[in-house]
Amino acid sequence: MYLEVKDLCFRYKNAKEDTLKNISFSLSEGSILGVLGDSGSGKSTILRVIAGLEKPYSGYVKVNSNLFCSDKVFVQPEKRDIGMVFQDYALFPHMTVKKNIVFGVKDKSKKEYILKEMLDLVNLNGFENRYTYELSGGQQQRVALARSLARKPSILLLDEPFSSLDASLQEKIRNELNEILRASKITAVFVSHNIVDVKAISDYILICRDGMVVDFYKNI
């Protein structure tokens, strides 16, 4: 399996009980997993552990056979080659679309090529010199996606990517996100408290409750 999460247990400092309780699941390459659960059920924490922003006290995470954390191993987040899209996009407001997108591309000789590829992918040709505050919410989200994908991450993690958008836009943006993820063939884990979003985008669905996996099934 491309992503393997096994028996993760994690507790925040000063918390009275474990936030993650033996979380296990796996995902094949190119698949999209939707993690669904109520607020506080541990969804964001699962992503944070995969990304290396938190360290579990037991269990392991592997991506493409690379062990990222276990009782003996801890790979720093910047070495994990993971893309993350947050709820608020965290774009750089003082940079243009172009600068935002190529921000994490290390190989300078590839910047122009990757920029073109990403603008095509997220359908933002002609917007490259705008500042992010000159964009709609949906366009900003596409810039955030392009910025994450430009670094060619091994896996993409998305935390509630729709929640700061207008309800009337959500269906359109959901469809756009689905198309972009499919076109990029990325393996992705996407978190939401909204079953409609999860049903629309995921190949597999994991239901999280109170820090535990209560169900995992193929979305048909």
Q: Residue 19, interface with Mg ion (CB under 5 A)?
A: no
What gap in Å lies between CA 10 and CA 66, rounded to an integer? 20
Region of 200 please: left (phi>0), alpha (psi -120 to 50) or beta.
alpha
Instruction: Give the one entry of Mg ion, ligand ADP, none that residue 140 binds, where binding means its C-beta sits below a cut-off of 5 to 8 angstroms depending on kind.
Output: none
To ligand ADP, the closest distance from the beta carbon of 23 in angstroms equals 11
Q: DSSP states of 61-90 as a string?
A: EEETTEEEESSS-B--GGGS-EEEE-TT--
Residue 9: name the closest of 215, 211, 161 by CA: 211
Footprint of ligand ADP (CB under 6 A): 12, 15, 19, 37, 39-45
Q: Residue 44, interface with Mg ion (CB under 5 A)?
A: yes
Q: Residue 140, interface with Mg ion (CB under 5 A)?
A: no
To ligand ADP, the closest distance from the beta carbon of 204 in angstroms equals 18
Nearer to ligand ADP by Cβ, of 61 and 119: the residue is 61
Query: Is-contact 99 142, C-beta < 8 A?
Result: no
Candidates 40-48, 103-111, 143-151, 166-174: pick the segment binding Mg ion (CB under 5 A).
40-48
What gap in Å lies between CA 119 and CA 79, rounded to an integer? 26
Nearer to Mg ion by Cβ, of 44 and 100: the residue is 44
